[in-house]
């Protein structure tokens, strides 16, 4: 069957069709703990290739998995499917309208590429992941990504206006905003989604966490707010499970005239998290946390240690606080006010400022290197991603953090901590050896305990990284049986044969299956 499928794809696709073992292995992993060998790989050269792939997959009844740069942390881009790599050719910025502040892009456009394109016009793309130099807009839409500046720009969902997609039936559709009544009157896909929303309205209002940083599940909450209806809101965060995007219209934002950083040093990590409450009233553009595990790994790295002259003493954690302003004088007065407030509250022991652009770039490089440094840790236990993306209301973060840390200590392990203190989303990566059966069990038990904690705090299991294979199984627990059933109906409305990236968001396998470094893996 695969040979026939290969031949059928080869006959129509003008881009690459690769079913050889080496190619399949190359696409069997992403930045997660999972590994699944795909059926084969298609690298479309243009939108016609995307349509051809979807039509042939429909005829052969095989799953399809659209993929960008494959930097997903929860296993979203691994699966037993035909992987469609959008990053190689579908990567053009097609149009920019600076007056109306939007750009039309293909899904393989990398964030930094879009930023470089619109920079001369004074704009940027708001959401900014640490992977900005490689992650694609298609992948950001798939995961509803967000970054250090989400306190200003929100998540990707807030920046996508329209999408051109191909459904698993092979039908091409354009999704854009309309009135809710119009969707009802239209019937078809729009009508079915409108029905699902109407039948679950109360439960949606009751069960969705009241939190900016929540990306788990499908975004049905976006349809009960203001009488507006836009299927883009369901597509964003759908992790390739609903349709393949071949073009999108996204918002662009004005660049700030000037920026400055202050690195606030703390002797205690809980004090650093508490300090967010003191800083937030001064309207920072970002508050990013780095703990001592990462700082020490950085100091031991030849490349990163050179950039770390700004670290004073041996902090348990630092907060990197950024301000936007009109000019340096404006920024200085903001930093003065914030520093005075911190000192009044005995928060922090050193406050290192950076106005120079090169100095600021170095500090951001250290922040962005955080995860890479953690992943480079020696030893069998690794700081893996499975409960690394919880989010709660920022004011509850100190209490949540303390309880989270108790769970980690209960299982006799430790963790690396970094993330977005400004919006209550901390990345906590417990050290686990997934080659050991007992530790796989610990991973599972810890996940269940953390999920209970998240529910108790009204938080989200994922603030930006998504569900994938690591967290989709928790969606019924997090949203309850009624909304989980609504998610299944959404999936069926878009993709009745369940062929778009199956096993993510709904109908997920256990989180302990398909591990990349599982029991069979042996270090030589
Ligand atoms: C070191 C590191 C740091 C990170 N930091 C951040 C961070 O700061 N903030 C953050 O939010 N995330 C972060 N991530 C996660 C990841 O980088 C983001 O989710 C990123 O936006 C994914 O982009 P990608 O191009 O790699 O997408 P992929 O991983 O290739 O795909 C992501 C999802 O989108 C779907 N998809 C891709 N293209 C399409 C398409 N054309 N049509 C339909 N579906 C599609 C895929 O099926 C998949 O489900 C980080 C990851 C790493 C490894």
pLDDT digits (tens, 9 = 90+) for 284-298: 999 999 999 999 999
Q: What is the pLDDT of residues 6-19, one digit of tens each?
A: 999 999 999 999 99
Q: In the predicted model, what is the mean pLDDT of the chain?
A: 96
Of ligand 1's listed atoms, the one at least distance from the Cα of 87 is 25
Residue 413 Cα to ligand 1 midpoint, Å, equals: 28
Residue 25 Cα to ligand 1 midpoint, Å, equals: 19
Which of 78, 83, 130, 516 maximizes ligand 1 atoms within 8 Å of its Cβ, making it the mutation to test the pocket? 130
Instruction: Give the span between the Cα atoms of 177 and 250, in whole angstroms.
Output: 13
Alpha-carbon torsion 292, 307, 298, 288, what sign?
positive
Residue 36 Cα to ligand 1 midpoint, Å, equals: 17
Domain boundaries, the chain: 2-85, 93-254, 258-374, 382-466
ipTM: 0.99
Q: Which of 236, 133, 232, 145 is nearest to 190 (CA)?
A: 232
Instruction: Give the span between the Cα atoms of 455 and 475, in whole angstroms.
Output: 11
Structure tokens that stand for 169 in this block: 């039936």
Q: Which CATH number fits domain 93-254: 3.30.465.10, 3.40.50.1860, 3.10.180.10, 3.40.47.10?
A: 3.30.465.10
Residue 134 Cα to ligand 1 midpoint, Å, equals: 9
Q: How high is the pLDDT of residue 396?
A: 94
User: What CATH number belongs to 382-466?
Assistant: 3.30.70.2740
Average pLDDT over residues 385-411: 95
Residues β-bridged to residue 160: 250
* CA-nearest residue, atom 34 of ligand 1: 142
Which of 36, 54, 72, 384 maximizes ligand 1 atoms within 8 Å of its Cβ, making it the mutation to test the pocket? 72
Q: Which residues line ligand 1 (CB under 6 A)?
A: 30-31, 65-73, 76-77, 86, 107, 129-131, 135-136, 138-140, 142-143, 145-147, 239-240, 244-245, 371-372, 464-465, 501
User: What CATH number belongs to 2-85?
Assistant: 3.30.43.10
Higher confidence at residue 379 or residue 494? 494
Average pLDDT over residues 178-202: 97
* CA-nearest residue, atom 1 of ligand 1: 371
Non-local (6+) Cβ contacts of 244 within 8 A are: 50, 54, 64, 66, 84, 86, 165, 166, 500
Q: Does 1 have pLDDT greater than 60?
A: no
Domains 258-374 and 382-466 share a fold: yes
Range 258-374: architecture per CATH: 2-Layer Sandwich (3.30)
Q: How high is the pLDDT of residue 355?
A: 96
Residue 216 Cα to ligand 1 midpoint, Å, equals: 14
Q: How high is the pLDDT of residue 48?
A: 98
Instruction: Give the span between the Cα atoms of 286 and 373, in whole angstroms.
Output: 21
Residue 313 Cα to ligand 1 midpoint, Å, equals: 36
Q: Does 73 have pLDDT greater than 70?
A: yes
Burial of 492 (0-12, 13-18, 19+ CB in 10 A): middle
- Phi, then psi, of 86 in degrees rounded to 5: -85, -5
Q: Does 386 have pLDDT greater than 60?
A: yes
Over the range 437-476, which residues count as b (16 or more CB within 10 Å of their CB) and which as e?
Answer: eebbebbeebbebbbebbbebebbbbbbbbbbbbbbbbbb
Q: How high is the pLDDT of residue 421?
A: 87
Q: Does 129 have pLDDT greater than 60?
A: yes
Inter-residue contact 127 to 150 (CB < 8 Å): yes
Instruction: Give the span between the Cα atoms of 472 and 514, in whole angstroms.
Output: 14
Residue 240 Cα to ligand 1 midpoint, Å, equals: 11
Instruction: Give the span between the Cα atoms of 473 and 469, in whole angstroms.
Output: 8
Residue 109 Cα to ligand 1 midpoint, Å, equals: 12
Helix (H) or strand (E) holding 113: helix 111-118
Average pLDDT over residues 261-280: 96
Which of 71, 78, 462, 491 maximizes ligand 1 atoms within 8 Å of its Cβ, making it the mutation to test the pocket? 71
Residue 71 Cα to ligand 1 midpoint, Å, equals: 5
């Amino acid at each position: 069957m695969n040979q026939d499928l290969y031949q059928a794809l080869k006959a129509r696709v003008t881009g690459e069709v690769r079913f050889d073992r080496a190619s399949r292995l190359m696409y069997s992993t992403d930045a997660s703990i999972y590994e699944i060998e795909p059926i084969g790989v298609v690298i479309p050269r243009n939108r016609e290739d995307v349509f051809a792939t979807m039509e042939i997959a429909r005829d052969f009844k095989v799953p399809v998995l659209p993929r960008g740069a494959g930097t997903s942390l929860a296993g979203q881009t691994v699966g037993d499917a035909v992987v469609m790599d959008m990053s190689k050719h579908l990567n053009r910025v097609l149009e920019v309208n600076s007056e109306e502040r939007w750009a039309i892009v293909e899904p393989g456009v990398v964030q930094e590429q879009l930023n470089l394109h619109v920079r001369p016009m004074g704009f940027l793309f708001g959401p900014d992941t640490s992977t900005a130099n490689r992650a694609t807009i298609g992948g950001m839409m798939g995961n509803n990504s967000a970054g250090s500046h989400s306190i200003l720009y929100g998540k990707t969902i807030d920046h996508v206006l329209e999408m051109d997609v191909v459904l698993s039936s092979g039908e091409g559709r354009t999704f854009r905003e309309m009135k809710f009544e119009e969707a009802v009157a239209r019937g078809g896909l729009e009508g079915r989604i409108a029905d699902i929303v109407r039948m679950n309205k109360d439960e949606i209002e009751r069960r969705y966490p009241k939190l900016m940083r929540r990306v788990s599940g499908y975004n049905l909450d976006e349809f009960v707010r203001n009488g507006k209806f836009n299927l883009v809101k369901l597509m964003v965060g759908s992790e390739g499970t609903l349709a393949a995007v071949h073009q999108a219209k996204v918002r662009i934002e004005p660049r700030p005239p000037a920026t400055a950083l202050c690195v606030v040093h703390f002797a205690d990590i809980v004090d650093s998290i508490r300090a967010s409450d003191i800083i937030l009233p001064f309207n920072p553009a970002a508050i990013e946390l780095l703990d001592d595990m990462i700082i020490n790994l950085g100091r031991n790295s030849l490349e990163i240690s050179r950039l770390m002259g700004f670290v004073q003493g041996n902090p348990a954690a630092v907060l990197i606080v950024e301000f936007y302003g009109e000019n340096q004088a404006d920024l200085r007065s903001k930093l003065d006010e914030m520093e005075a407030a911190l000192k009044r509250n005995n928060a922090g022991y050193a406050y290192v400022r950076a106005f120079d652009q090169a100095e600021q770039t170095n500090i951001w490089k250290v922040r962005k290197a955080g995860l890479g440094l953690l992943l480079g840790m020696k030893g069998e236990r690794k700081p893996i991603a499975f409960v690394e993306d919880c989010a709660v209301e920022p004011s509850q973060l100190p209490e949540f953090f303390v309880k989270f840390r108790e769970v980690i200590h209960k299982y006799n392990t430790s963790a690396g901590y970094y993330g977005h203190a400004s919006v209550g989303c901390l990345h906590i990566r417990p050290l686990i050896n997934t080659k050991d059966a007992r530790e796989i069990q610990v991973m599972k038990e810890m996940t269940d305990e953390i999920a209970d904690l998240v529910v108790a705090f009204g938080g989200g299991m994922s603030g930006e990284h998504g569900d994938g294979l690591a967290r989709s199984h928790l969606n019924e627990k997090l949203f309850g049986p009624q909304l989980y059933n609504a998610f299944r109906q959404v999936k069926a409305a878009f993709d009745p044969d369940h062929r778009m990236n199956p096993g993510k968001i709904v109908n997920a396998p256990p989180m302990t299956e398909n591990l990349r470094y599982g029991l069979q893996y042996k270090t030589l």
